[in-house]
């Protein structure tokens, strides 16, 4: 029995599925096996290295979908990498469908645009139909959304504008996509958007092809007219783009359901939720733009891709930048430290004051920190927590802290912004147990701002597409939830990141409401030139800096040396090494590192340069006049700089004992409500040396009023009562300190000091020996330092000198090696 072709009347065998002459689908006779079974036969899987159609060498499978499988292949005739899409049998079964493919591809091939993936040809090999097209290395938009959750507003608009460019060109050629969705949008290595699969969706709209479980289009992105099977035009693509925009900024689709049909019906009947309900950070203009794209009536939508492009440009320009006014912070209290107290005589030799001050310092090292106070400044203040690594690549984890540090260093050059230092950020994140937390919540950000006493947070993330990076950041006020701006930078590789950091920080300055005059007059050297332009060197530096902050100086030095091996001119790494050597008691190595840092000081920031000079003159050349000049020059540029003021005061206290000159820079920091405990203990020490005991008490009470219940300051307050001769008050105050300690060795120390001041030296020795015999090293050091003036007063000078040497070998107190008591 034969089967006649309904088109050309050619006789075919009974089991033929297509006419042997014209390939028309043949009718199925009753009782004849259904072709449906044949359609269920899968396409033969192609493995790496095999060749398809005697031409296309398989490199890798890229994915599969409703159309079939997609492969990255090498065209052996042209030696080019292209994409090969094998069409499923059930799709290719109808000759009319294949004809439509061919006709549509002929039109789509005419589209030549940077934002449209090039379509090549339709072919057949051994019954398998396939399409060849341009291969676009990168990531599809769907994966990017899944990776990031929500895209930044700037990123969203950038991608949307490129899609509009591609649609404009296609629509001019008379081609409507009909299946626009994130998985059909690729982002290549350069960050350019490419729209895929033009010319395919329309070809699938033949009647009879929707059977056997094949659905045409994607319900989540269908326009209402597609759902109703009405006439489709370019406004359908505009609707689909609205859905894509909605998903980019919210991380969710406007309509979801249990079945494809339920989702499609919602597109036809339900109004989409306002995207700003899901993401309040979306600008109002962008939210309204998305909702207009999603109008049910296509006459109410934007009518062309050119119109979309124009509106997006207006929205982009309207994102808040310099029009945002940053209110000046007000001090939380009007209390100030006065300077009107009369001087009192020191009733014991100055050496007791020095030893007592060192003892206080050591005690303070043991006690826990307390909560922060508000920052006093008329400048905008900023914290830059670690960035989110959305690449999935653990080798890029260093950029979490690395990007934060680069931005901090760059912005710290500014005379008009207060930026939390990298070690302060580390300290806060560690205290809040957020060091390993990738995605910081709004609550986390508010806690960081509170701990750091700042009014702005820069929350950032980065992704990688091919060899390129996209860095996004959002500047916001975490206390109110107000978003100031969204910022984005694209890097062609790790080596370009420092350059892009410079672009980001310029935008941040503008968004923090710095005037043009301020920005123009500000210090703003390229961050790669004041740190390193080598990503590998900076990676090693950040790893070393992590250990440095953990007080693991040996490990820190390992990585600093690796950083210097990558970039021998890395001045900042040498300065960090000098401090790591110092805290390990390796003073010759410290001096060598400082010498190298000094040679490279021009490759450091202006601030870092003067700190390097100050350290170098003080420690290497021992030229205190030059050290003071360096710190004072630094303070002429940055009058409120914490390290500059503190280091200057430290030289006057530790090296010169010029108390009057030490007091003003420390009082600047107190006035600014800097929290660092060393500021208050050093200023208290200077006041003590001047006999200003009432002023010491007021200073410490001031601290406790603004930073409540700080045990370390209470310890200083207790010692101050000894100077005042108020021994009962001293013991009572110290009892508060002891409440936070596991044992009561401190009571013996306090009693020992009181007996020294009373002149009962034998009783003092009994009490202080209890402290020296303690197992904990820090406690031993405290007892040893307390015994030094006791032996001096007893005339036991050799014992006094011996204790100094022993304590010097155990302690990490700055400048302790300079302490010496002369006979």
The runs of H, that is alpha helices, within 550-676 are 553-566, 571-583, 587-599, 606-615, 624-637, 642-650, 659-671
Sheet holding 128-134, edge to edge: 51-52, 56-64, 69-75, 80-86, 128-134, 119-125
The answer to whether residues 355 and 789 touch, using CB atoms and an 8 Å cutoff, is: yes
Reading the block at residue 412, the tokens are: 């710290």
- 807 three-class SS: helix
Name residue 737's beta-bridge partners: none
The answer to whether residues 362 and 781 touch, using CB atoms and an 8 Å cutoff, is: yes
> Parallel, antiparallel, or unpaired for β 381-383 and 119-125?
unpaired
Distances in whole angstroms, Cα of residue 431 to Cα of each of 365, 421, 426: 16, 15, 8
The answer to whether residues 249 and 121 touch, using CB atoms and an 8 Å cutoff, is: no
Task: Write phi, then psi, for 92 (nearest 5 degrees).
Answer: -90, 5
Reading the block at residue 763, the tokens are: 């009783």
What is the Cα–Cα distance from 781 to 785, expressed in whole angstroms?
Answer: 6
> DSSP label at 814?
T
Name residue 131's beta-bridge partners: 85, 122
Q: 63 in the Ramachandran plot: left (φ > 0), alpha (ψ -120 to 50) or beta?
A: left
Other C-beta atoms closer than 10 Å to the C-beta of 719 total 22
Reading the block at residue 218, the tokens are: 């994607």
Count CA atoms within 13 Å of residue 496 on its CB side: 13
Reading the block at residue 473, the tokens are: 């950041």
The answer to whether residues 463 and 470 touch, using CB atoms and an 8 Å cutoff, is: yes
What is the Cα–Cα distance from 221 to 223, expressed in whole angstroms?
Answer: 7
* 213: Cβ contacts below 8 Å, ≥ 6 apart: none
Q: 376 in the Ramachandran plot: left (φ > 0), alpha (ψ -120 to 50) or beta?
A: beta
What is the Cα–Cα distance from 235 to 297, expressed in whole angstroms?
Answer: 10
Of the residues 9, 54, 121, 179, only one is catalytic, namely 179
The answer to whether residues 247 and 145 touch, using CB atoms and an 8 Å cutoff, is: yes
Which sign does the torsion angle of CA 187, 193, 194, 200 carry? positive
What is the Cα–Cα distance from 618 to 111, expressed in whole angstroms?
Answer: 70
179 is catalytic: yes
Q: What angle do CA 534, 576, 616 make, to 5 degrees?
A: 115
The answer to whether residues 421 and 641 touch, using CB atoms and an 8 Å cutoff, is: no
Residues acting as catalytic residues: 179
């Amino acid at each position: 029995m034969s089967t006649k072709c309904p088109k050309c009347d050619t006789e075919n065998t009974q089991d033929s599925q297509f006419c042997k002459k014209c390939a028309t689908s043949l009718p199925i006779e009753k009782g004849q096996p259904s072709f449906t079974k044949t359609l269920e036969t899968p396409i033969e899987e192609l493995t790496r290295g095999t060749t398809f159609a005697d031409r296309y060498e398989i490199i890798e499978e890229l994915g599969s979908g409703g159309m079939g499988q997609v492969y990255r292949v090498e065209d052996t005739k042209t030696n080019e990498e292209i994409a090969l899409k094998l069409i499923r049998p059930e799709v290719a079964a109808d000759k009319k469908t294949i004809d439509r493919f061919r006709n549509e591809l002929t039109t789509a091939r005419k589209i030549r645009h940077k934002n449209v993936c090039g379509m090549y040809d339709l072919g057949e090999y051994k019954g398998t139909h396939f399409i060849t097209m341009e291969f676009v290395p990168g990531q599809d938009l769907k994966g990017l959304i899944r990776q990031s959750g929500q895209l930044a507003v700037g990123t969203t608009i950038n991608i949307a504008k490129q899609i509009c460019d591609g649609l404009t060109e296609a629509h001019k050629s008379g081609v409507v996509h009909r299946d626009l969705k994130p998985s059909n949008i690729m982002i290549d290595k350069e960050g350019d958007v490419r729209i895929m699969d033009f010319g395919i969706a329309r070809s699938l709209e033949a009647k009879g092809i929707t059977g056997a479980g094949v659905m045409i289009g994607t319900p989540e992105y269908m326009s209402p007219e597609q759902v109703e099977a009405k006439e489709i035009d370019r406004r359908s693509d505009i609707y689909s783009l609205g859905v894509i925009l909605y998903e980019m900024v919210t991380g969710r689709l406007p309509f979801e359901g249990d079945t494809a049909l339920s989702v499609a019906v919602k597109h036809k009947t339900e109004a989409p939720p306002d995207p700003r309900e899901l993401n309040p950070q979306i600008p109002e203009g962008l939210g309204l733009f998305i909702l207009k794209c999603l109008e049910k009536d296509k006459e109410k939508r934007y009518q062309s891709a050119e119109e979309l492009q124009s509106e997006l440009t207006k929205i982009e320009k309207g994102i808040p930048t310099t029009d945002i006014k940053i209110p000046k912070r007000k001090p939380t209290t009007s209390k100030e430290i006065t300077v009107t107290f009369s001087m009192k005589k020191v009733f014991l030799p100055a050496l007791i004051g020095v030893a007592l001050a060192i003892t206080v310092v050591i005690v303070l090292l043991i006690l826990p920190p307390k909560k922060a106070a508000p920052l006093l400044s008329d400048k905008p203040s900023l914290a830059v927590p670690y960035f989110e690594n959305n690449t999935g690549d653990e080798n890029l984890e260093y950029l979490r802290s690395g990007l934060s540090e680069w931005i901090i260093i760059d912005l710290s050059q500014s005379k008009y912004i207060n930026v939390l230092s990298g070690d302060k950020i580390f300290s806060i994140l560690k205290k809040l147990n957020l060091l390993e937390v990738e995605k910081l919540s709004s609550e986390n950000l508010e806690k960081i701002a509170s701990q750091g006493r700042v009014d702005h947070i820069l929350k950032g993330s980065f992704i990688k597409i091919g060899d390129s990076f996209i860095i996004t950041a959002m500047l916001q006020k975490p206390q109110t939830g107000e978003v100031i701006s969204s910022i984005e930078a694209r890097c062609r590789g790790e080596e370009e990141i420092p350059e892009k950091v410079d672009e980001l920080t310029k935008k941040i300055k503008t968004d923090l409401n710095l005037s043009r005059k301020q920005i123009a007059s500000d210090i703003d050297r390229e961050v790669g030139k004041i740190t390193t332009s080598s990503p590998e060197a900076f990676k090693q530096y950040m790893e070393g800096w992590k250990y440095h902050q953990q007080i693991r100086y040996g490990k820190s030095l390992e990585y600093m040396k690796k950083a210097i091996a990558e970039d021998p001119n890395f001045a900042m790494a040498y300065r960090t090494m000098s401090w790591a050597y110092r805290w390990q008691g390796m003073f010759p190595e410290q001096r060598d590192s400082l010498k190298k840092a000094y040679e490279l000081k021009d490759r450091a920031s202006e601030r870092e340069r003067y700190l390097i000079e100050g350290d170098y003159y003080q420690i290497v050349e021992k030229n205190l006049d030059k050290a003071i000049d360096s710190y004072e020059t630094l303070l002429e540029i940055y009058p409120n700089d914490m390290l500059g003021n503190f280091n200057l005061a430290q030289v006057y206290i530790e090296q010169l004992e010029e108390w009057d000159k030490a007091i003003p820079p420390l009082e600047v920091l107190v006035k600014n409500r800097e929290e660092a405990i060393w500021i208050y203990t050093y200023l208290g020490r200077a006041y003590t040396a001047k006999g200003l005991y009432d002023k010491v008490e007021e200073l410490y009470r001031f601290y406790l009023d603004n930073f409540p219940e700080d045990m370390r300051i209470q310890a200083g307050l207790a010692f101050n009562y000894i100077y005042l001769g108020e021994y009962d008050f001293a013991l009572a105050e110290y009892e508060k300190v002891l409440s936070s300690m596991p044992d009561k060795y401190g009571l013996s120390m306090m009693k020992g000091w009181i007996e020294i001041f009373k002149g009962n030296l034998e009783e003092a020795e009994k009490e202080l020996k209890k402290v020296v015999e303690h197992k904990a090293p820090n406690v031993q050091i405290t007892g040893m330092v307390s015994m030094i003036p006791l032996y001096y007063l007893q005339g036991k000078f050799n014992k006094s000198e011996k204790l100094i040497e022993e304590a010097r070998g155990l302690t990490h107190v700055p400048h302790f090696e300079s302490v010496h008591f002369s006979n």
